Amino acid sequence: MTLVGPSLGSAVAIDFSINYPQAVDKLVLIDASVYAEGTGKLATLPEPVAYAGASLLKSLPFRLFAVLLTFNRLPFNIVTDWTNIGRLHCLLPWWEDATVNFMMSGGYNVADQIKAVKQKTLIIWGENDKIIDYKFAVRLHCELPNAKIRQIPNCGHIPHVEKPTVVSNLIMEFITANRSRLEKPVGVLATVQD
């Protein structure tokens, strides 16, 4: 299979591809959050302080700030919609407990595993990502021997949402590379368009 991991999902994709290499033929990492060293000092917070932090994470002002960082440019009415959408998972009854458990567990750290990835990898990065700097895309590209990197202009942290056609075309081109013309799936576009 081709495994796609956006943001923190890239850490999960790397971990999975290393632990189950026979299951993963190719890897696609989108604005990969793979160099964070877990949750750092958050793991040592007293539990009540961790719960206060989780409450802050689901607050409307924080979610609005996250949307403004995530997307390149959005009209205000769409910012409002994305703020509400981006907050939905925080309203689930188990979310605070899961967030605190994640924080206190030390989080996800795959930085030491990256060089063990053997699969062909496509790294996709939004040119205007304000959450994870492009230098980490370059670092990732340097550490993965079978990787190629593509940057998407006028795009923020979630290219698969902001520029879905561009991202899907890049992924299809990557998946079908080195296949014969007859093996290509129906409907694959020959050029990347906005």
Q: Rounded CA gap, 144 and 154, in Å?
A: 26
Higher model confidence: residue 39 or residue 170? 170
Determine the Cα–Cα distance for residues 43 and 108; give it in Å rounded to an integer.
Answer: 12
157 is catalytic: yes
* Cβ contact 124:167 at 8 Å: yes
Q: Record the pTM.
A: 0.81
Q: What is the CATH number of domain 2-38+109-183?
A: 3.40.50.1820
Q: Tell me whether residue 129 is one of the annotated catalytic residues.
A: yes
Catalytic residue (one of 7, 10, 17, 33): 7
pLDDT digits (tens, 9 = 90+) for 16-47: 999 999 999 999 999 999 998 778 888 888 99
Q: Distance (Å, rounded) from C-alpha 194 to C-alpha 153?
A: 10
What would the mean pLDDT of 114-126 be, rounded to a whole number?
Answer: 96
Q: Over pLDDT 70: what percentage of the chain? A: 92
More confident residue, 10 or 79: 10
Range from 105-109, 113-117, 148-152 carrying the lowest mean pLDDT: 105-109
Active-site residue among 10, 31, 157, 160? 157
Catalytic entry in 10, 17, 33, 129: 129
Question: Is 97 an annotated catalytic residue?
Answer: no
The full set of domain ranges for the chain reads 2-38+109-183, 40-105
Q: List pLDDT tens digits, range 90-101.
A: 999 999 999 999
Residue 180: pLDDT band with limits 50, 70, 90:
low
